[in-house]
Chain A
Amino acid sequence: MADVILDVQNLHTEFRRNKTVVRAVNGLSYQVRAGEAVAIVGESGSGKSVGVRSLLRLIPAHGDVVQGKAHFKGIDLLALSEKQLRTIRGKDISFVFQDAMTALNPTMTLKRQLTEHLIWHGLANKETATQRAIEAMTDVGLDRPEVRLRQYPFQLSGGMRQRAMIAMAMASRPSLLIADEPTTALDVTLQRQILDILKQKKQEGMSIILITHDLGVARYFCDRVIVMYAGKAVERAPMADLLAEPAHPYSTGLLDSTLEIGMSGQELRPIPGNPPNMAAIPAGCPFAPRCPLAEERCRVEPQRLEPIGPGRDVACWKVSEGLTTATPAAAAQGTHTTEMARR
C-alpha cells in the first residue's frame, strides 16, 4: 500500500433542511494511490459526487461533513480551516466539473482564469504564469492558445470550454485531479477526445478520481472502481475484475442494465424499483428492497465492506460468506445470468 496520496475514512456528509436530514454520504472510505485513476460509479443520488466534493468543502451551504477523515499526503483535509484548504484547492488538488459554462467565470478572459490561481498559489509570476497557461492549453489540444487567452468563455464552443476548464485544472500541475462527470453533457465524439486527454495525464503520473454513472467511461482509463449506492461503497474492485465478474448484486444489476452495441435482440435485465429516498434510507442493506437475493438478514443487518479477493471488497454478506458467487460470464459475453442465488 505504498504511495497512498488520498486516504478517506468513514466519511459522513449530511444535508439538513427544516426537519429532514439527507444522509448523502453515509460512511464512505477509499484510497487513491499516486499515478492511479479511480472511478466512483453510481446513479444520481448515490452520493458519488458529494463523497468527493466534501473533501474540499465544495458542497452547498446546508451540507455538513459530520464525521470522517481524509488524509491527503498526510494532512487531514477535513481538519483544515477554510484558509488552509484554499492553499490546496486548485494547487495540489484540482477539479473538473460537468458544466464548463458555469464553472468558468463568464466575465473574465481565459488568461485571467488560467493564470490568476497560479500567481496566487505562488507557482509562477506574471510572465511565467502566461507561459504555463499556454503550455496547459496546448496540452489539452486548444489551438492558437495566445489568441484564446484573450477570449471569454462564451466565445468558445462547448468542447473548447471543456478543454479550457481542464487546462485551468492542469496548469497548477496538481497531484490529484478530480473529474466530476466531465463528459456527461458532451457528444460521444467529444467525450472520447476529453477522455483521451485525461488518459494521457494519468499516464504522465497524475492521480485521477473520475466520478461517472457510465461504466464504459470508467473502463476507458481507470484502474480501480468504487461502486456507490445510497451514500455507501457497496463494492471496491480492480476495474477489469468488476466488469468481468461483478460481486455485489447492485454491481451486477448495473452492468446488466447497461445497454451496448452488439446486444441487439437481447433482453435487458433492469434492476426493479427505484433508488431509496435518501432522507429515509432503509435499515440494513439499502439495496435490499431491490435485490433479487435479499433475505430477512439483509433487511436488518447493516452491511460493511469485507475483503473477497486481492484489492477487492464487497458489502454483501451473501457474497463475502461465500454463499453466492458472482457470475463470471455475465460481462464478457453480454449474456445475463439469473442463477446468482443458487449454490
Chain B
Amino acid sequence: MTDQHQAPGAPLLTVRDLTKTFYLPGGETMTAVDRVSFDLQRGQTLGIVGESGSGKSTLARLILRLHESTGGSVRFDGTDVLAAEPEALRALRARMQIVFQDPFSSLLPHYSAIDNVSEPLRLHKRGDKKQRRERARELLDLVGINPVMVDRYPHEFSGGQQQRIAIARALALEPDLLICDEPTSSLDVSIQAQILNLLKRLQEQLGLSMLFISHNLAVVEHLATHVAVMYRGRVIEMAPTQAIFTTAAHGYTRRLLSAVLPARSGAMETIAFWERPPTPLGSADGVDPVPGVMLNEVAPGHFVAMDGTV
C-alpha cells in the first residue's frame, strides 16, 4: 500500500491545477475544468456551485478518476490519486464514494435494494455473504429504509427512497470522503428536504468530509462549510460559506446570488442586487466576466479571481 497517513491537520484532499481538456472533432478543444486548486480538511464540506457547463460535475469525476484528467494533481490522504496503479486505486476508491444525481440510473436495476448496498462490500471482499447482508440492512436502516422493503428492486421505490439506497451504498465502505453530485436535483421539494436532512445528520454522526456539488445555492449554504464558485471550468471565488453569502466579491457570484428567487418575504430584499435586466444584445445567456486565473486572497480564506470586481 502506498498509503502514508499524514500528520493530523494535513488536508484530506488536495487538488492542484486540475485540468481537463476535451478534444472535439474538428480539432477544437474545450477545457471543462481549468486549473482548479483547493484543499479539503477532514470533517469539512466544500460546496461547489456553478451553472450547467461550469465543469463542476466533471471535477468530481476527475477526483475519483472516473475520467482521466489532462493535468494537475489530486492527493487523497497523502496518496497521489492520479498516479495510483489499479489495485491502489481500488483501495482509494473504497475511501471516497459518490452519490449521483439520478438515483434510479445509478442503482443496479436487477439487484434488490439490499444487494445494491452489499455490492461494494462484495467487491472489496468484506465479510461473508451473511455479514454483508447484515451490514447492508444496518445501513438501509440508517438512511431510513424500512427493513421490510429491503428485498425490493429499485424501480419499486420512490425517487427519494432510491436516493436513500444510493447513499447507503456509498456509505457501505465507510468512506472518508463522500462526493455528492446534485443529489437532490431530480427530487421533489418535500423529498429534497428529507434527503438534505439525512445528509446533514450523516455528516454530524459519521464526521464525513464532503464535496457537495449543486447549482442550488441554498442547498449548498445549508450543508457546506466552504464554497467554491465555478464558472466556465474555473474557480472564480472560494470562501467560507458565510463569507460567500454575505460578502461575495466576484461579480459573477453576486449575479448568481441575485438571481435566486426566494419564496419567503424578507429574503428577497437581502439579495436584491439584480443589476442587469435581460441582455438585449450580445450573449443572450448573460454571462460576461472572463475570470482571471490568479486568485487573490481578499480576506482570510476568501479567494477571488483577479478580475473579480464588477
Chain A residues packing against B (C-beta within 8 Å): 43-44, 141-143, 157-160, 163, 187-193, 195-197, 213-220, 240, 243-244, 253-264, 267-272, 274-275, 331-334
Contact = CB atoms under 8 A, between A and B. Distances in A.
A192 B259 contact: yes
A270 B188 contact: no
Contacts of B285: 157-160, 189-190
A190 B286 contact: yes
Nearest to B201: A267
A244 B242 CA distance: 27
A185 to B, nearest CB: 9
A191 B161 CA distance: 29
B286 A260 contact: no
A268 B264 contact: no
A261 B260 contact: yes
A252 to B, nearest CB: 11
Contacts of A264: 221-222, 241-242, 245
Nearest to A290: B190
Contacts of B51: 187-190
B98 interface: no
Interface of B: 51-52, 158, 160-161, 188-194, 196-197, 200, 215-219, 221-222, 241-242, 245, 255-267, 270-271, 274, 277-282, 284-287
Contacts of A274: 158, 160-161, 191
**Which of A188, A216, A254, A268 has the most chain B CB atoms inside 10 A of its CB?**
A188
For the residues of A in contact with B, the DSSP-based class is helix
Contacts of A256: 193
A181 to B, nearest CB: 13
B284 A143 contact: yes
B259 A257 contact: no
A265 to B, nearest CB: 8
**Which of B261, B281, B282, B287 has the most chain A CB atoms inside 10 A of its CB?**
B261
Nearest to B265: A332
13 contacts: A43-B189, A141-B284, A143-B282, A188-B256, A196-B277, A197-B278, A213-B189, A218-B263, A259-B218, A259-B222, A262-B270, A268-B197, A270-B190
Given A189-B51, A268-B193, A260 B284 contact: no
Pick the 4 closest A-B CB pairs, nearest first. Answer: A270-B193, A215-B263, A216-B261, A257-B193
A261 B47 CA distance: 14
Given A141-B280, A189-B286, A216-B260, 20 more contacts: A44-B188, A163-B284, A189-B255, A189-B285, A189-B287, A190-B286, A192-B261, A197-B278, A259-B192, A259-B216, A260-B264, A261-B245, A261-B267, A261-B270, A261-B271, A262-B245, A262-B262, A267-B197, A268-B197, A332-B266
